């Protein structure tokens, strides 16, 4: 008798943007269509339906006893490091006999870097496909931003990997919330470095409130600096590379081949200014559609909330 493979649970962040939430749900449905051999479900830890607990309950109702959870997130910030693992532990208590493994976030990955390169080419109208054509193009990669320095550093790593070998004049980094530099400051830095042609590239999977904010801030800065050509690129989107990468992360989780970075995790290492976070216990992020919701969430007895 062949043992059925573990189910796949996709854990999303959530957004107040209906189109962004529906893009996530469409993505989960597409994964299910591509892999009929697997039960596939997805849910959010906050802001959007369905909550993660409802997605787990759906799998349990389908007879699932084992699953692998993949966080549909580009970087390892507090949500991937604490909120989702805590929520999964809660679901295990709610459903006795359920077992799971937990995968790692998505980026940076060569497949995603290829999509980012494609988005840049699209924004440039196909005018900069070779290194020689790209010599006067500066890219500003804009991440979500986090209070976790390790997560912000991962965005810088993605920027460096995007720059390597592609011929852009430079790839700078900015953030749209919670971390500096912000988008206008990032654009100012590009100009100080000599940029006259800039593409602002959102480091986001799907459309939403924050990618929209990136575009609006870019347009505002551009209007005040008509001497600089500024273009806006699109988000990554539900590309084949993203679908393949989620399955790669699923296989890692199933096989136990996890390579999560702990060298600069604020919950393990005393980083300057974040020493109080070392060893904090993680508690689940309460979703408004789940039982026991309250505003904010707890890390070791104190509450903090996120700007979205």
Please tell me the distance from the alpha carbon of residue 306 to that of residue 199, in angstroms, as a whole number.
28
Given this model, what pLDDT does residue 279 score? 77
308, part of any domain: no
Given this model, what pLDDT does residue 32 score? 97
Reported pTM: 0.83
Question: Domains in the chain: how many in total?
Answer: 2
Closest CA to 186 of 248, 128, 143: 143
306, part of any domain: no
Given this model, what pLDDT does residue 81 score? 82
Q: Same domain for 120 and 227?
A: yes
- Domain with 85 in it: what CATH number? 3.40.50.1400
288, part of any domain: no
Q: What is the mean pLDDT of residues 47-65?
A: 94
Q: What is the mean pLDDT of residues 176-181?
A: 96
Given this model, what pLDDT does residue 276 score? 79
pLDDT surpassing 60 at residue 204: yes
pLDDT tens digits, one per residue of 75-91: 987 778 878 998 999 99
1, part of any domain: no
Q: Same domain for 82 and 120?
A: no
117 or 3, higher pLDDT = 117
pLDDT surpassing 50 at residue 303: no
76, part of any domain: yes
Given this model, what pLDDT does residue 296 score? 37
pLDDT tens digits, one per residue of 234-245: 999 999 999 999
Q: How many CA atoms lie within 13 A of 286 on its CB side?
A: 13
Q: Same domain for 115 and 31?
A: no
Report the range of poorest mean pLDDT among 23-32, 33-42, 207-216, 290-299.
Answer: 290-299
| Domain coverage including residue 42 | 7-107+239-277
pLDDT tens digits, one per residue of 146-172: 999 999 999 999 999 999 989 999 999
Q: Same domain for 34 and 180?
A: no
Given this model, what pLDDT does residue 308 score? 32
For all residues of the chain together, what is the average pLDDT? Answer: 87
pLDDT tens digits, one per residue of 105-139: 998 999 999 999 999 999 999 777 777 789 999 99
pLDDT surpassing 70 at residue 216: yes
Contacts 24+ apart (CB under 8 A), 212-218: 212/17, 213/176, 213/177, 214/142, 214/176, 214/183, 217/176, 217/182, 217/183, 217/184, 218/183, 218/187
């Amino acid at each position: 008798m062949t043992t059925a493979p573990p189910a796949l649970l996709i854990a999303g962040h959530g957004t107040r943007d209906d189109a962004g939430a529906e893009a996530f749900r469409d993505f989960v449905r597409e994964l299910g269509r591509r892999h009929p051999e697997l039960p596939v479900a997805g849910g959010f830890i906050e802001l959007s339906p369905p909550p993660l607990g409802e997605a787990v309950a759906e799998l349990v109702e389908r007879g699932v006893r084992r699953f692998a959870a993949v966080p549909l997130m580009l970087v390892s910030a507090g949500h991937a490091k604490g909120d989702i693992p805590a929520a999964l532990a809660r679901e295990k208590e709610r459903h006795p006999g359920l077992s799971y493994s937990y995968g790692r976030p998505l980026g940076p990955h060569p497949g995603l870097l290829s999509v980012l390169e494609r988005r840049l080419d699209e924004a440039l109208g196909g005018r900069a496909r070779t290194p020689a054509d790209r010599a006067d193009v500066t890219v500003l990669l804009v991440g979500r931003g986090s209070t976790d320095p390790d997560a912000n550093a991962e965005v810088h790593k993605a920027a460096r990997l995007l720059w390597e070998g592609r011929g852009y004049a430079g790839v700078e980094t900015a953030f749209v919330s919670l971390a500096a530099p912000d988008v206008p400051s990032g654009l100012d830095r590009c100009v100080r470095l000599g940029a006259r042609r800039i593409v602002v590239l959102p480091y986001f999977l799907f459309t939403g409130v924050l990618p929209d904010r990136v575009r609006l801030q870019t347009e505002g800065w551009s209007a005040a600096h008509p001497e600089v050509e500024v273009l806006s690129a699109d988000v990554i989107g539900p590309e084949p590379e993203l679908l393949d990468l989620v399955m790669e992360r699923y296989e890692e989780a199933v096989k136990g081949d996890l390579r999560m970075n702990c060298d600069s995790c604020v919950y393990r290492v005393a980083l300057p200014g974040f020493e109080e976070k070392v060893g904090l216990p993680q508690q689940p992020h309460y979703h408004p559609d789940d039982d026991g919701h309250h505003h904010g969430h707890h890390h070791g007895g104190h509450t903090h909330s996120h700007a979205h």
